[in-house]
Structure 1
Amino acid sequence: MHRKLSARPRGENVGIASHASEPRDVVSTVLGFARTLRAAGVTASPDRVEAMLSAVSVLGVLDATAVYWAGRLTLCAGLDDLDRYDAAFAAYFGGEAPRRSTATSASPPPRVSSTAPLEQGRGAGEEGEDPSDLAVAASGDEVLRHRDVADLTPAEREHLRRLFTLVRPATPMRASRRRRPSLRGAVHPARTVRRALRDGGEVTRLLRRRARPRPRRVVLLVDVSGSMSPYADALLRFAHAAVRSRPASTEVFTIGTRLTRVTREMRLRDPDRALTASGEAIPDWSGGTRLGEVLKAFLDRWGQRGTARGAVVVVCSDGWERGSPDLLREQMARLRRLAHAVVWVNPHKGRSGYEPLTGGMQAALPSVDAFVSGHSLAAFEELSGVISRA
């Protein structure tokens, strides 16, 4: 099905397609939305995409509610896909996804922002459009990406949680001992000789091989003490996204007054269920901080046995230390000798005028390879790049 979106008279209900000077092809837009869903973890198979196209051709493309429900009923395979679908719909079309209308609700269905991918030309707020009917624009999402998590309202936090479902942290790779055939790399003597024997004993081609890349282990140590409580939820959601991306090579621990491994809880598919299970497993939530002692416990029990060896270790903490800074300095130096790279995430670094003056940060920084902020969604995207390049 190839249909073109046509402009509608000003003042009518504006849905997925608004007034456009150059209409876009519906099929290519739906295919782009399907790719966004797959990146968010929803299995939008080709037959489901075809079913959505058939539904949209019947319901029409100018009604945001119709397009939303056409995609939700055809592309989602289970309850676990619904939240991801809502977040992807909001991010791709530039507005909040429509919700079920209740018997007592008489409000009209929300409209998609005028910055949606399906249209060109007019912007939000022009004559004939009611701003109260417009959903959150893509520019609003961009502003939210750079807002400090600690300063968000409850509604903004809820919207940020949906955006977190679209985060896919990249995984650092390393060369393994296993090698595979390749057009470049070292010559493979055995395969070259066997090929020559088949060609009558004459070497006509040098066959090569090179190391096969493997994912490098990533270990996240998330501070859940009282001073980190405004950022703990966002940090754990980033950790959940990292585990979902590479469950076999990602470990998550929480640190405070005790060390708690929450990798198993983080492997739950739904982010809210994963955080709830982690909260039940953490005995020292919003307590004090003993970074040196907890880091020593991690290295004695886990790191020295292989968890930290050759791994990218990410410590998420503001550096407030109730114990001895000398112990923390000693353990950070020990960690640096074991790990491939040490990344320290401090949410306060994103604030203007911040300087690492606390005793904990002064003790840790000499053993840190990268010092980054973790105060916003944009900062977490930057952190993902730092981890992948480590």
Structure 2
Amino acid sequence: MSSAMLRGVDRAAFAVAFADRLRHAGVPAGLTNVDDFVRALAASPPVSMSTLYWTARISLVRRRAHLAAFDRVFAAVFADAPPLPLTRSAAPGRRDEVHVPVPADTDDAGPGGGLPWATLPPAVAEARESDAALRLPERRPGALAVLADRPFEELDAAQVALLGDALRAAVAGWPTRRTRRQAVGPAGRRVALRPTIARARRTAWEPVEVVRERPVRRPRRVVLLCDVSESMRAQATAYLHLMRAFAVIADAEVFAFATTLTRLTVALRHTSAAAAVAHANAAVTDRFGGTRIATNLRALLASHHGNAVRGAVVVIGSDGWDSDPPGELATTMARLRRRAYRIVWLNPRAGAPGFVPRVAGMAAALPYCDRLLPAGTFRDLADAARQLQSVTCTDGLKWPTLTPAPRIIA
């Protein structure tokens, strides 16, 4: 045979077919042997019948007792065989419905009925003409997409927990802000004088090595206050999951209020969401009662946690119903506005068509808020989380103070 004896031949089909002949003759040629045979043919293409014989024998035969059967099969296939056909035939006695068989009475078939040297594509019947229109499979919405626009009062505990996990993922990329502190870093632009002078002592006070420093970046502090009164019963659990997301990811300070103020930062940082919400519900003793927004904000500013508000993004989740006089709420919001970096109010009623903040408490607090965002569905909470991230990214940009007008509704 010439050096091109296997040129253009499918080596894998050739090896599988030859191993099948050997198995019918009693030689156990497994998949590992076939893989070795294919790799050997690729590494050293046979240039003669002797080279092909030894390549196949070393790869496919493992026992001396199988040498006689291997020689009989090899002689029946290759002895006085014509040039290798590039068609595939089925083994004798076996039906092959996929590949085109080579007739045994033709000159192209070698002794033993020939081998399937090359793989041919299976015959495919012509497609029947149909008058029906092309139909594509319908994509079903995911679990979160189904729950995105449903009000919180229509969700059960498991669905609210699923939304809580999604809120944690939405807050995962919480941005940082530049502080006034400096840290040594090779990418800094400023020269750190003290480290540079300290190292210059080693080189006769010559600053051979200049040490640079860069500003330290930290996450913008967030303070969340959520209303858990009777008017917020439907949204209370969802807001607790929002507070937990910020407490775990952004290291926020979170509070719940009705008639009194309750700190829930430690309770909501539990590793289990269900346990965290259960601990928070147990800690709030006045839930589903009245609402005193001005009193609770004043208590926060007067406590030792009031320093956490300084330079922070304050998020207040409430519908604005307040039993305190509107003038007290306006005065307290003015104090809070001077101390906080931004004030964002989440109102579950703000997403309703034609909403106008006519409630006395909401109208009194609105001029001191930077944003009024709807928060009646999960989609609203996810959008609010993204807008809060954009608030944190704005270093040095001043938002215009909102005025009580319909255009302020985000």
TM-score category (smaller protein): 0.5 to 0.7
Deviations 1:11-56 (A, max 9, x none): xxxxxxxxxxxxxxxxxxxxxxxxxxxxxxxxxxxxxxxxxxxxxx
Q: Which amino acid aligns with 1:254?
A: A
CA RMSD of aligned residues (A): 2.6
Question: Any conservation in 2 of the 1:147–1:376 contact (CA below 8 Å)?
Answer: yes
* Structural mapping, 1:71-150, within 5 Å: 124=137, 137-139=140-142, 141-150=144-153
Q: Which residue in 2 is equivalent to 1:6?
A: none
1:270 aligns with 2:272: yes
Q: Which of 229, 234, 239 pairs up with 2:238? A: 234
Question: Any conservation in 1 of the 2:344–2:373 contact (CA below 8 Å)?
Answer: yes
TM-score under structure 1 length normalisation: 0.59
Question: Any conservation in 2 of the 1:176–1:214 contact (CA below 8 Å)?
Answer: no
User: Percent same amino acid among aligned pairs?
Assistant: 34
Question: Any conservation in 1 of the 2:182–2:213 contact (CA below 8 Å)?
Answer: no
Q: Which of 203, 226, 229 pairs up with 1:222? A: 226
1:183–1:271: structure 2 CA closer, same or farther, 3 Å change rule? same
SS in 2 for 1:147: coil
1:123–1:265: structure 2 CA closer, same or farther, 3 Å change rule? farther
1:124–1:144: structure 2 CA closer, same or farther, 3 Å change rule? farther
SS in 2 for 1:348: coil
Question: Any conservation in 2 of the 1:243–1:267 contact (CA below 8 Å)?
Answer: yes
Q: Which of 245, 252, 256 pairs up with 2:254? A: 252
Q: Which residue in 2 is equivalent to 1:384?
A: 385
Q: Which amino acid aligns with 1:189?
A: L
Q: Which amino acid aligns with 2:148?
A: R
Q: Which residue in 2 is equivalent to 1:162?
A: 162
Shift of residue 172 of structure 1? 4.8
Q: Which amino acid aligns with 1:316?
A: G
Shift of residue 149 of structure 1? 2.1
Shift of residue 243 of structure 1? 1.4
Q: Which residue in 1 is equivalent to 2:404?
A: none
Q: Which residue in 1 is equivalent to 2:176?
A: 173
SS in 1 for 2:167: coil
Shift of residue 357 of structure 1? 1.2
Give the Cα–Cα distance (whole angstroms) in 2 for the partners of residues 164 and 192 of structure 1: 49
Q: Which residue in 2 is equivalent to 1:108?
A: none
SS in 2 for 1:211: strand
Shift of residue 382 of structure 1? 2.1
Give the Cα–Cα distance (whole angstroms) in 1 for the partners of residues 282 and 209 of structure 2: 61
1:213 aligns with 2:217: yes
Give the Cα–Cα distance (whole angstroms) in 2 for the partners of residues 381 and 173 of structure 1: 19
Shift of residue 303 of structure 1? 4.5
Q: Which amino acid aligns with 2:278?
A: T
1:278–1:352: structure 2 CA closer, same or farther, 3 Å change rule? same
Give the Cα–Cα distance (whole angstroms) in 2 for the partners of residues 163 and 137 of structure 1: 18
Question: Any conservation in 2 of the 1:315–1:344 contact (CA below 8 Å)?
Answer: yes
1:359–1:177: structure 2 CA closer, same or farther, 3 Å change rule? same
* Structural mapping, 1:1-390, within 5 Å: 124=137, 137-139=140-142, 141-150=144-153, 152-154=154-156, 158-168=158-168, 169=171, 170-174=173-177, 175-192=179-196, 207-246=211-250, 249-304=251-306, 306-388=307-389, 389-390=391-392
Question: Any conservation in 2 of the 1:145–1:377 contact (CA below 8 Å)?
Answer: yes
Mark the structure with the bigger radius of gyration. 2
Shift of residue 310 of structure 1? 1.8
Question: Any conservation in 1 of the 2:184–2:192 contact (CA below 8 Å)?
Answer: no
SS in 1 for 2:185: strand
Give the Cα–Cα distance (whole angstroms) in 1 for the partners of residues 358 and 164 of structure 2: 31
Give the Cα–Cα distance (whole angstroms) in 2 for the partners of residues 349 and 225 of structure 1: 18
Q: Which amino acid aligns with 1:145?
A: A
Deviations 1:238-259 (A, max 9, x none): 111211214xx32111111111
1:281–1:153: structure 2 CA closer, same or farther, 3 Å change rule? closer
Deviations 1:276-300 (A, max 9, x none): 1111111111111111112111211
Deviations 1:320-351 (A, max 9, x none): 11110000000011111111221111111122
Q: Which residue in 1 is equivalent to 2:74?
A: none
SS in 2 for 1:350: coil
1:183–1:363: structure 2 CA closer, same or farther, 3 Å change rule? same
Question: Any conservation in 2 of the 1:343–1:370 contact (CA below 8 Å)?
Answer: yes
Question: Any conservation in 1 of the 2:254–2:263 contact (CA below 8 Å)?
Answer: yes
Give the Cα–Cα distance (whole angstroms) in 2 for the partners of residues 178 and 196 of structure 1: 20
> Could you list the runs of 5+ residues in structure 1 that have no partner in the other structure?
1-121, 126-135
Deviations 1:110-155 (A, max 9, x none): xxxxxxxxxxxx9645xxxxxxxxxx944553242233323x243x
SS in 1 for 2:217: strand
Q: Which residue in 2 is equivalent to 1:20?
A: none
1:371–1:200: structure 2 CA closer, same or farther, 3 Å change rule? same
Question: Any conservation in 2 of the 1:318–1:348 contact (CA below 8 Å)?
Answer: yes
Give the Cα–Cα distance (whole angstroms) in 2 for the partners of residues 219 and 327 of structure 1: 21
TM-score under structure 2 length normalisation: 0.56
SS in 2 for 1:254: strand
- Aligned positions, number: 253
